[in-house]
Structure 1
Amino acid sequence: MANILDVATPNNLEYQFFPVSSGSVQFKVRAPHDAHIALTMGPQELDPMYEIFIGGWGNTKSVIRRNRTKPDKVEINTPEILNGGEFRGFWVRWDSGVVSAGREGESIPFISWADPDPFPISFVGVCTGWGASGTWKIEDGAEFDTVDKLEYKFGPVAAGSLEFDFLGPHNCHICLAPAPAEVDPIYEIILGGWENSKSVIRHCRQKPDKVTVPTPGIMNANEPRKFLIEWRCGTIAVRDGKTGQVLMEWTDPAPFPITHFGIRTGWGAQGQWRIVHFYKAGEQQPLQPPPAAAPLYNNPPGYPSAPPMGGGGAGVWVTASSGQVPPGAVVGGNDCSGEPLYVARAQHESNAIIPGKLVASHGCAYIPWGGQEHGKAEYQVLVGGPNNWVPTNGSNIPPGAFPGGESEDGEPLFIGRVRHEGSITTGKVQQSHGVCYISFAGQELGFPDYEILMS
């Protein structure tokens, strides 16, 4: 069975997003009209963004739109392309800036457009509206039946949670990893192991297990069982999917970014899975940073430090790359999905050092400069530093503000943060401009009211 996501879209034009790992998606939709598909960089309705409207305007035509603006890039007549009483199959593809859609079983698209300024696509959203509700079956091509073989099959994660149904007698294995491969670091969760008698959380495939709990009869070969796994600020929580009860929980003192999940069965067991890793725009995950994560804000004893660049206050800037989060990294806020954002900075334009944000799951830090968001695979993270934020505005830099870098002209830059579109995003404060700049959805945005980091 392929990983088919069953999605119901009410008549409200609100996209539900899920991650994609290739350049296409196949789906079936049952709706009388107005099946909308969004292609985005993140799991929210923000520019840059492609939209494909199938069967709009009373099921008479279809269009491709960019950044929710008119005129539409392409418009064609497609009378009766959708049907409210039966599923119709379609595919959407994107390759080198060419966005196209076609009918199931047809290789030639019925609509296509080449974007001269394309952007990377990581998420697909679906919705219906204008009087239409819809039912979708979305297939991303990954196989999620597991045979009796201890070999993980991987898929991407959208945010800090994974919900699934499992049908099998025992030995339901899930891993959380920074890549689609069974390499360290890795978390492993074994549910119904040891002949369906106990469950464990394991780190880097090493014993002793971090958590062991008795769970007799937790799996059933004749009845699917639902579970929810959440991760936030280093805490891994496993919940019963029906009651929400925490079955196991463990906090890693040195967490790593999680970008993929893996599933497998073994020791005489086969399994059938239904994975849910999509969610509605703006939806927040329920797990909150626990008190046990507080040591992450302190510089661990003996941790190798880098000399401060730009000086000022406690804490050091530690060089990292590719989404690495050094122990003791200062959490400055959270992304729209609830993922922690760390205080980071990176070099730009040869001599500028620009404060920004580290998004571990993206494998890079982002800095705002020149009206755009710039991704940096190499960056520095504030470790063991202050986490005291004071409200201010304009060019009012309070005494004791923590310096975080300098502009290409040598002007000191401070570290600020703002609340925007469900996030708390860190960026740079440039006194001569009177604003805090953040990088967000590919853009540099300026805000006159912000919080500033104090030494």
Structure 2
Amino acid sequence: MCSTLVSATDEGGIADLATLQARGFAAFRSACRKPRMHLSSCMFNTTPSNPANFKFVLEPVSMPFKMRFDVKASGDAAIVLAENKTLASTFAQISIGGWSNTKSAIRACNEPCDIQVEDDERGLLNETEYRPFWLEYNVGVVTVGKGSQSEGFLEWDAGSFHSKIHSQVYVGISTHERVSGSWVFYNHCE
């Protein structure tokens, strides 16, 4: 857990509550919202593309796994899980902050194909700060969650849908349309 301490006085005087609150949030964002860089992290950037141009960045990850990652983008961040390094082998496409940062979804293949599950939460992503997420793949079930929350906001049984559970998974990332993104992955770098 991260915390900061902000003084209640400002240059010898007492700060008003609004100023103190603004300084407190600024100190917290500065100290606590940076990407958690440590020895087992790797960073990637994505550029705008339409259609999505997925870059396979982690290979292969063995099931079961739970990967933690941070994303900095204004919206439309996407991850594919694939059997090999081809979009044709995609068995789950996860959109985080899609539709201009208004909802997230999981599809059964690389677009275009039907959405299997979605969540209508606005503002999941931010273009000026990293936001933490996690992705879990266990016995064919794909779960996506935020930060340190234990419950995911998206969950879908890809194994049942495709009648196949992949034991080795390739991970690709992309940002859509006019969006650039910065990604930090932890513990699953090559």
TM-score scaled by structure 2?
A: 0.70
Matching residue within 123, 130, 135 for 1:87: 130
Distance in 1 between residues matched to 2:132 and 2:155, nearest whole Å: 17
Which residues of 2 match residues 283-322 of structure 1 at below 5 A? none
Task: Give the corresponding residue for 1:118.
Answer: 164
Task: Give the corresponding residue for 2:42.
Answer: 5
Distance in 2 between residues matched to 1:109 and 1:101, nearest whole Å: 5
Distance in 2 between residues matched to 1:48 and 1:32, nearest whole Å: 25
Gaps of 5+ in 1: 142-274, 278-455
Q: CA deviation digits over 1:364-415, x for unaligned, max 9? A: xxxxxxxxxxxxxxxxxxxxxxxxxxxxxxxxxxxxxxxxxxxxxxxxxxxx
Distance in 2 between residues matched to 1:105 and 1:127, nearest whole Å: 23
> Is 2:86 the counterpart of 1:47?
no
Q: CA deviation digits over 1:127-178, x for unaligned, max 9? A: 101211000111135xxxxxxxxxxxxxxxxxxxxxxxxxxxxxxxxxxxxx
Matching residue within 143, 159, 168 for 1:100: 143
Which residues of 2 match residues 186-265 of structure 1 at below 5 A? none
Task: Give the corresponding residue for 1:136.
Answer: 183
SS of residue paired to 2:100: helix
Task: Give the corresponding residue for 2:77.
Answer: 35
Q: Report which of the two has the higher share of strand.
A: 1
8 Å contact kept, 2:75–2:126? yes
Task: Give the corresponding residue for 1:21.
Answer: 62
Distance in 2 between residues matched to 1:95 and 1:21, nearest whole Å: 10
Task: Give the corresponding residue for 2:102.
Answer: 60
SS of residue paired to 1:118: coil
Distance in 2 between residues matched to 1:43 and 1:25, nearest whole Å: 18
How far the C-alpha of 1:78 sits from its partner, in A, is 1.5
Letter in 1 for 2:94: I
Q: CA RMSD in A?
A: 1.6
Q: CA deviation digits over 1:37-81, x for unaligned, max 9? A: 111111222224210000000100000001234320011101000
Letter in 2 for 1:100: T
Distance in 1 between residues matched to 2:145 and 2:122, nearest whole Å: 15
Instruction: State which drifts further: 29-38 or 118-127.
Output: 118-127
Distance in 2 between residues matched to 1:111 and 1:124, nearest whole Å: 17
SS of residue paired to 1:73: strand
Task: Give the corresponding residue for 2:119.
Answer: 76
Distance in 1 between residues matched to 2:187 and 2:86, nearest whole Å: 19
Question: Is the alpha carbon distance of 1:131 and 1:64 closer, same or farther for their aligned partners in structure 2, counting shifts above 3 Å?
Answer: same
Q: Which has the higher contact order (CA 8 A, sep 6+)?
A: 2
Identity fraction in percent: 30
Q: CA deviation digits over 1:278-304, x for unaligned, max 9? A: xxxxxxxxxxxxxxxxxxxxxxxxxxx
Task: Give the corresponding residue for 1:242.
Answer: none
Distance in 2 between residues matched to 1:118 and 1:64, nearest whole Å: 17
8 Å contact kept, 2:81–2:172? yes
8 Å contact kept, 1:62–1:78? yes
Distance in 1 between residues matched to 2:42 and 2:180, nearest whole Å: 17
Count of residue pairs the alignment pairs up: 143
Distance in 1 between residues matched to 2:151 and 2:39, nearest whole Å: 24
SS of residue paired to 1:131: coil
8 Å contact kept, 1:96–1:118? no
SS of residue paired to 1:2: coil
Q: Report which of the two has the higher share of helix.
A: 2
How far the C-alpha of 1:21 sits from its partner, in A, is 3.4
8 Å contact kept, 2:139–2:165? no
TM-score scaled by structure 1?
A: 0.30
Distance in 2 between residues matched to 1:86 and 1:52, nearest whole Å: 21
Question: Is the alpha carbon distance of 1:123 and 1:98 closer, same or farther for their aligned partners in structure 2, counting shifts above 3 Å?
Answer: same
Distance in 2 between residues matched to 1:37 and 1:63, nearest whole Å: 11
Letter in 2 for 1:44: T
SS of residue paired to 2:152: coil
Distance in 1 between residues matched to 2:90 and 2:53, nearest whole Å: 17
